[in-house]
Chain A
Amino acid sequence: DQQVKQNSPSLSVQEGRISILNCDYTNSMFDYFLWYKKYPAEGPTFLISISSIKDKNEDGRFTVFLNKSAKHLSLHIVPSQPGDSAVYFCAASDPGGGADGLTFGKGTHLIIQP
């Protein structure tokens, strides 16, 4: 029973265009959401997060949108750059934080084409 789902295993986007990565969750108790980026042979790197009291958080080229009623969040990357090619994991946290409360999606492999 996957509580955090990333339904697109891979996504191909042209350099300079917008990349939109999607994530759905089922547990309405989740109150904090994170995106991680992972290059081959490296561990995931924290990218951006959003609290359930917000619907948008922006950091440079990265924006995360949260739609609580739809239990859906998305990561927008504008403009997409070659270095953005990586696997992106969505994660959701139970209230109170802590590693044990984090549930990860299975990842979306983003490929930025020149």
Chain B
Amino acid sequence: KAGVTQTPRYLIKTRGQQVTLSCSPISGHRSVSWYQQTPGQGLQFLFEYFSETQRNKGNFPGRFSGRQFSNSRSEMNVSTLELGDSALYLCASSKGPSSYEQYFGPGTRLTVT
């Protein structure tokens, strides 16, 4: 069974731009979550989608948004990029919204200059 895939793997943007990251979950998984990983803060929850609906959102500004499509694929968008948005963005999928185990993709390394 193919794992979680994320595109692109690496991205360089400048301040003020916006970016869209994509995630395809494991086949059969209907929940997709997004995390931000930085050296100082570790892994922080951004939001979770299930059945095309955002279930929960972490403590991030409104510049961070996402959506989920009917095939469970998800996109994450960050607008008006700031230097502090440089991080590894991880997508994880699970069978459902109450699953404990999250299966992670390889991540997208975003660098904002």
Tell me whether B100 and A43 are in contact (CB under 8 A): no
Tell me whether B104 and A45 are in contact (CB under 8 A): yes
Residue B24 interfacial (CB < 8 Å): no
| A43-B4, A43-B92 known; A100+B48 contact, CB < 8 A | yes
Q: Which residue of B lies closest to A31 (CB)?
A: B100
Tell me whether B48 and A43 are in contact (CB under 8 A): no
Residue B99 interfacial (CB < 8 Å): yes
Give complex CA distance A100, B92 in Å. 12
Give complex CA distance A93, B44 in Å. 13
Chain B positions 58-96 with a Cβ under 8 Å from a chain A Cβ:
58, 90-92, 94
Digitize A91-114: 1 where CB-to-B-CB distance is under 8 Å, 0 elsewhere: 101001111101011110000000
Q: Which residues of A contact B6 (CB under 8 A)?
A: 43
Q: Which residues of B contact A41 (CB under 8 A)?
A: 106
| A43-B105, A43-B106, A43-B107 known; A98+B99 contact, CB < 8 A | yes
6 contacts between A and B (CB under 8 A): A43-B91, A43-B106, A43-B107, A97-B97, A100-B33, A104-B43
| A43-B4, A43-B90, A46-B103 known; A100+B55 contact, CB < 8 A | yes
Tell me whether B31 and A99 are in contact (CB under 8 A): yes
Residue A89 interfacial (CB < 8 Å): yes
Known: A36-B104, A106-B41. 18 other contacts (CB 8 A): A32-B100, A42-B106, A42-B107, A43-B91, A44-B104, A49-B100, A96-B98, A98-B31, A98-B55, A98-B56, A98-B98, A99-B48, A99-B94, A100-B45, A100-B48, A102-B45, A104-B44, A107-B42
Residue B102 interfacial (CB < 8 Å): yes
